[in-house]
Amino acid sequence: MTEFDYVIVGGGSAGCVLANRLTEDSNVNVCLLETGPADKTPLIHVPAMFAFLPETEYSYQYDTTPQKEFNEVTVTEGASNAVDSLGSSHSMPQSYQENRRGYQPRGRTLGGSSSVNGMVYIRGHKWDYDHWASLGNEGWSYDEVLPYFIKSEHNEAIQDEYHGKDGPLNVAELRHDNPFSRYFVEAGSKIYPENNDFNGSEQEGVGLYQVTQKNGKRCSAAVGYLNPIKDRKNLTILTDTIVDKVVFENLKAVSVKCKTKNLANEIFARKEVLLCGGAFGSPTILMRSGIGNESFLQSKGIDCLVNLKGVGENLQDHIDYITSHKVDSWELFGKPVKSLKFTLRAPFELIKYILASKGMWSSNLAEGGAFIKSDESLEVPDLQLHFTVAMVEDHGRADIWGNGFSCHVCLLRPKSVGTVKVASKDPDDDPIIDPNYLSHEDDMKVLIKGYKKMMEIMNTEPLKQFNNVRNPININDDKAIESAIRTRSDTIYHPVGTCKMGSDEMAVVDSNLRVKGVSGLRVIDASIMPTLIGGNTNAPAIMIAEKAADLIKNNAT
């Protein structure tokens, strides 16, 4: 029997934080379980190479269900035999129409999505956390969570009351000075205020993002929190471990059933099991463990232990639309071979990176950003822009010749809400993910406004001269913009909310992140967010784990 004080399920951002903070006490022993392999590939650590990560073993490659508000597409699948008029048999591809599916890549390695993301350091708006507190979540107001953001951070460039300088997560300025990112800020600042710190006193404005990097390399949660302490004697790390379910005795979590390198295993927890599987992993583990909507669990042949209807509900995500502009420039990224200038420049930039950790390979690609309002009467920004020094379409999977830049506009607080569910009792089966994008009519209205505001910046000098748009739309035709959004919009990788914190009947955890109806079990990751925050979600996930570590150490009751 293998027994620990705490078993952490998921070696992503939150899991790495907990492994570090809980093992600070040498009298406590911890086991960290991660589905994927260790984070050893240079595709993770050389920043710009993250563009090549999604379709590797270091990433889940989930698809959503067909989204009813997306356009229809033709799907070709398999083949069938058809006989012609002469009696000859021919293999014919089968095709059918269905609504377009979204793509949901997630990190599958130590560091989780912080090892495969765009490294943008954003916390969200003060309003978001005060809103959580107003919903009855004590201890989660902005003033109460700010100390945990500060505790987690070492900011190389900014030193004030909003930023930390001693934390494990290194935050830095970009080490690549791309003129097109400066053009974006120059154009945007003719319309909106320039902002040099989106995480300071004001979020609104246009500027360059700070990134989670150190010395030009990615600083994931694994790099910042786990690697410096992975040799602690009271920490055991098991990679390549697929978790099946949590086992209970008298409604107390006592162990985790899993497979390590395909060998059955059971890890026991003397004190608590801590689920850190993210917005898709944590609710599906709960469901397989018998915690969830009773009628749904029974339909999958799972005995219901606790009828907790909110498990897997309340899925919220940032829906995003991208405009791409083809520009023949040495300064912009393109796909190897498909872009002559990038192909010729890339080896020289790699030498620069190896010698000085600077240049194009240190870029996070999404270098420029903005937080703006779709309507000036709003209290806080409801739109976010990411300016990218490459043409990015279909999550980088589209084969595009040449090079150029892109700009994303995403809806920060969508009203559309979806679900995630298990497909079966088998932990190897992908979850059923339905974000229900654009199902609330207000989301489309705001995104149309967002597209127009984004293009206003794109059509302002010095960006205006680069107007070779790959998918041009008449900016005065709302129906055309709506059609483009239904055809090409998708996630910008911020799913949250499926084990939401709260006190209502759909809440899954309380304000101490304990799962309702059982003991010895908490959920600690972005799935506990009751509402989606206004910005990228990695820094908030780390904050949640920092706060949870203190709750656990203080044995909150």
Q: Specify the amino acid at residue 212.
A: T
The span from the CA of 510 to the CA of 522, in Å, is 9
Query: Residue 414 corresponds to which amino acid?
Result: P
Q: Is 211 annotated as a binding residue?
A: no
Is the distance from CB of 124 to CB of 540 less than 8 angstroms? yes
- Cβ neighbours of residue 26 under 8 Å, at least 6 residues apart? 233, 234
Three-state DSSP class for residue 9:
strand
The Cα–Cα gap between 551 and 543 comes to 12
Residue 556 CA, chain-centre distance (Å), reads 29
9 is in an annotated binding site: no
How far apart CA 113 and CA 62 sit, in angstroms, is 13
529 marked as binding residue: no
Whether the CB-CB separation of 532 and 318 falls below 8 Å is answered with yes
Q: How many helices (H) and strands (E) does the chain have?
A: 12, 25
Can you tell me which residue has the tokens 């150490």? Answer: 553
E strand or H helix that includes residue 207: strand 205-208
Q: Which of 432, 22, 487, 1 is nearest to 256 (CA)?
A: 1
Give catalytic status of residue 125 as yes or no: no
DSSP code of 112? G
Is 243 annotated as ligand-binding? yes
Burial degree of 11 (CB within 10 A; 0-12, 13-18, 19+): buried
* Active-site choice (125, 131, 318, 494): 494
137 is in an annotated binding site: no
- On the CB side of 70, CA atoms within 13 Å amount to 26
Distance CA(65)–CA(71), nearest Å, equals 13
Report which secondary-structure segment, H or E, holds 154. Answer: strand 153-155
List, by residue number, the catalytic residues: 494
Q: Return binding residues for FAD.
A: 117-120, 243
